[in-house]
């Protein structure tokens, strides 16, 4: 079993800011502002291989969460489904579907921003990343730029009310 906490890395905030850019693009398109990216890591080298925002409203697809779309794009870009050398960075703690997709992709780790009190599945309500009953576990770092991530979501919903 891996250590359940992904060690802090100064790049996490940089990557979260990129995810926040995609969240804002989603909001501009009338989507719930959640952004996600997949970063492939090779030692000290890292490169973003996919970045997406939510697209549920525009596509009518209930699975078009930013995390799922980013995982699909990363798998296509890398030519494989196993993403064990990658970290998924997302502005809101993933729901069960997205955490399950991360498990299915054998993601190497996850970094999340705001806490998801409604459906958080990487530590808040469930923890699919470190459930020993599953055949893959991955470390998670939570709360990266949490206030900024929460502010984007709060502003979006306040504007819609």
Tens digit of pLDDT for each residue in 111-146? 999 999 999 999 999 999 999 999 999 999 999 999
For residue 113, which of 157, 77, 148, 63 has the smallest C-alpha distance? 148
Name the residues annotated as catalytic: 67
Tens digit of pLDDT for each residue in 15-55? 999 999 999 999 999 999 999 999 999 989 999 999 999 99
Please give the model's pTM, rounded to 2 decimal places.
0.95
The CA-based dihedral angle spanning residues 139, 124, 92, 62, taken in that order and rounded to the nearest 10 degrees: 100
């Amino acid at each position: 079993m891996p250590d359940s906490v992904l060690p802090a890395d100064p790049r996490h905030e940089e990557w979260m800011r990129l995810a926040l850019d995609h969240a804002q693009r989603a909001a501009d398109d009338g989507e719930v502002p959640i952004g996600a990216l997949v970063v492939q890591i090779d030692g000290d080298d890292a490169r973003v291989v996919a970045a997406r925002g939510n697209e549920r409203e525009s596509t009518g697809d209930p699975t078009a969460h930013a995390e799922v779309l980013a995982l699909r794009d990363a798998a296509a870009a890398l030519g494989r489904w196993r993403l064990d050398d990658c970290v998924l960075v997302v502005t809101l703690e993933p729901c069960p579907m997205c955490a399950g997709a991360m498990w299915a992709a054998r993601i190497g780790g996850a970094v999340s921003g705001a806490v998801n009190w409604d459906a958080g599945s990487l530590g808040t309500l469930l923890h699919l990343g470190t459930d020993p009953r599953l055949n893959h576990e991955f470390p998670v770092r939570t709360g990266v730029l949490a206030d900024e991530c929460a502010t984007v979501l709060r502003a979006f919903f306040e504007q819609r009310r």
